[in-house]
Amino acid sequence: MQFATAAALAFVGCLVGFNSANAQGAAMKTTPTTKILAIGTINPGFEQSQVAAVLPEEVRATVDLYLDGKIEQWYSLQGKRGVAFIINVTDPAVAHEMLEKLPLGKAHMMRFELIPIGPLNPLRFLQGMQAKP
């Protein structure tokens, strides 16, 4: 139960910007970028029918990226037209280049917000764990 509470507090710390390193007076080690979260939304000015005309080709190209191991997970956005991908690259420029080659990217119908993500860093400060030098 203590581990679950500590893990929850570490997670909440990430969400609200808690800096465990400052609380302990030491520099926090950064975690590596292991994936890119790509949030794609339809650009303003495009009608549903324009997007729908490109979707069959977009889906095929996206499935190819998934089968090639470049897209790990894919989701629909709730409440707006768009997608969220977890991409198996560590460089946002590489992710951008890959996504711009998709049919909606080529047609300038979709834009992506690219967010580098990695391991949950505050977990280093759980009871009994020591940060590696």
| Domain harbouring 83, CATH code | 3.30.70.1060
Rounded to a whole number of angstroms, the distance between the first and last alpha carbons of the chain is: 29
41 shares its domain with 98? yes
Residues 99, 40: contact at Cβ < 8 Å? yes
Name the average pLDDT for the chain.
84
17 shares its domain with 57? no
pLDDT 10s digits, 26-67:
566 788 999 999 999 999 999 999 999 999 999 999 999 999
Segment 80-92 mean pLDDT: 95
Residue 20's pLDDT band, with cuts at 50, 70 and 90, is very low
- Residue 133 in any domain: the answer is no
Distance CA 33, CA 118 (A): 5
Task: Provide the pLDDT for residue 65.
Answer: 98
Given a cut of 70, whether residue 16 has pLDDT beyond it is: no
46 shares its domain with 65? yes
Which runs of consecutive H residues, i.e. helices, occur in the chain?
2-16, 20-24, 48-67, 92-100, 103-106
Percent of the chain with pLDDT over 90: 64
Could you count the other beta carbons within 10 Å of the beta carbon of residue 74?
Answer: 16
Give the count of domains, the chain. Answer: 2
Residues 62, 71: contact at Cβ < 8 Å? yes
Residue 21 belongs to domain spanning: 2-30+120-125
